[in-house]
Amino acid sequence: MEDGRLVVLLTGANGFVGQNLTPVLKRNGMIVRQAVRKPSPDATSIMIGTIGPHTNWAEALAGIDAVVHLAARVHHPREEHAADVYQSINTDGTLHLARCAAEAGVSHFVYLSTVLANGSSTDGRPPFRENDVLTPRGVYGVSKAAAEAGLQAMVEYTSMNFTVIRPPLIYGAGALGNFKRLATAVNKGIPLPFGCIQNRRAFLSVANLASFIVHRLTHQHGKFDIFLVADEEQISTPEFVRRIGKGLGKKSRIVPFPLFALNALFRISGRSEAYNSVAASLEIDMSKALKTGWRPPLSLDEGIRNALADPTSRTQSTRSP
């Protein structure tokens, strides 16, 4: 603690989630130290270089109360063969940081994992839960699940507490990936071939994720807790596109397209794994997170409006309840 304020080390501070989380932590009275890979003019930043099993964390962890570990090697379809890269950063790098944090006297380690540790689809099965037998998909999901297992093993020989968060697709201001592609297509009036999809998927506003992280940092927590976190409303892919159109003030153009043809289209384009992220269901059971007393401060529609709005006009409902 510094002047009675929690001191938090944030990795991945320059990424999409980190840029949205940093001001929320500060608004909730925390002191944020940012671990960055490259030199930064920010006086609160400490350059640590590439995260891996040999990163020197000594300076960054001095005087830290809690670590929020966001940094990771994210999914790159063209690098599915490079399992060693994901292993080095997402698994070995995470466990090395956690060990260093425990040795430095850090009390709480918050790890941003992924729902892909559970699997890629809930078609034909109940929503994912924290205690499911994990069936991770892809080298990214496998590397994250392995890191979770390693963190849980540390409970036996450290006094540090752990929170693992498994989010679905995170959207918000500055989001890349699927959300940006969908918003761009809707904004340009491009027809989307999703009319035959009848699924249900979980989504997570970055503001709601930030709120949950603050809640975990400021409330009593267990020795090792895993949480599936999402917006309260879970909807189909075409409905999500319609909500984006509503947020943009434009009519989305969704056309019927047979699922077998859509699947073939993804395979031809070299993105066969992406078919699941569009057409399959991915529902989560949020009951464990809600039992902590936390509630998502933003509805799905509010989260989408925030993601699409001018930065100066976004809702600031990001204090922990």
User: Are residues 206 and 17 in contact, defined by beta-carbon separation less than 8 angstroms?
Assistant: yes
Angle at which helices 177-188 and 300-308 pack, to 10 degrees?
80
Give the full edge-to-edge strand order of the sheet including 31-36.
45-47, 31-36, 7-11, 66-69, 108-112, 161-166, 224-228
Distance of CA 268 to the CA centre of its chain: 29
CA distance 224 to 215: 15
Residue 275 annotated to the active site: no
Query: Is the Cβ–Cβ distance between 151 and 162 less than 8 Å?
Result: yes
Q: What is the per-residue burial (b if ≥16 Cβ within 10 Å, else e) of 3-32?
A: eeebbbbbbbbbbbbbebbbebbeebebbb
C-alpha torsion sign, points 153, 156, 159, 161:
positive
Cβ of 271: how many Cβ atoms within 10 Å? 13
Give the chain's domains with CATH numbers: 7-175+201-233+283-298 (3.40.50.720)
Q: For residue 296, what pLDDT is reported? A: 97
Amino acid at 247: G
Structure tokens at 176: 């890349």
Instruction: Please tell me the distance from the alpha carbon of residue 82 to that of residue 213, in angstroms, as a whole number.
Output: 31
pLDDT the model gives residue 318: 42
Active-site residue (options: 86, 111, 140, 275): 140
pTM here is 0.92
Q: Tokens representing 193?
A: 């071939």
In angstroms, the CA 137 to CA 119 distance is: 6
pLDDT on residue 310: 59
Angle between helices 300-308 and 206-218 (to 10 degrees): 110
SS3 assignment, position 32: strand
- CA-CA-CA-CA torsion sign (265, 269, 272, 277): negative
What are the pLDDT tens digits along the chain (321 aa)?
667 799 999 999 989 999 999 999 999 999 999 998 876 666 678 888 889 999 999 999 999 999 999 999 886 555 555 788 889 999 999 999 999 999 999 999 999 999 999 999 999 999 999 999 999 988 999 999 999 999 999 999 999 999 999 999 999 988 888 899 999 999 999 999 999 999 999 999 999 999 999 999 998 778 999 999 999 999 999 999 999 999 999 999 999 999 999 999 888 877 777 888 999 999 999 999 999 999 999 999 999 999 998 554 444 444 333
* 136 in Cβ contact with 187 (< 8 Å): no
Q: Tokens 């073939």, residue?
A: 264
CA dist list (Å): 91 to 9, 51, 143, 231, 311: 19, 10, 5, 27, 34
pLDDT of res. 174: 87
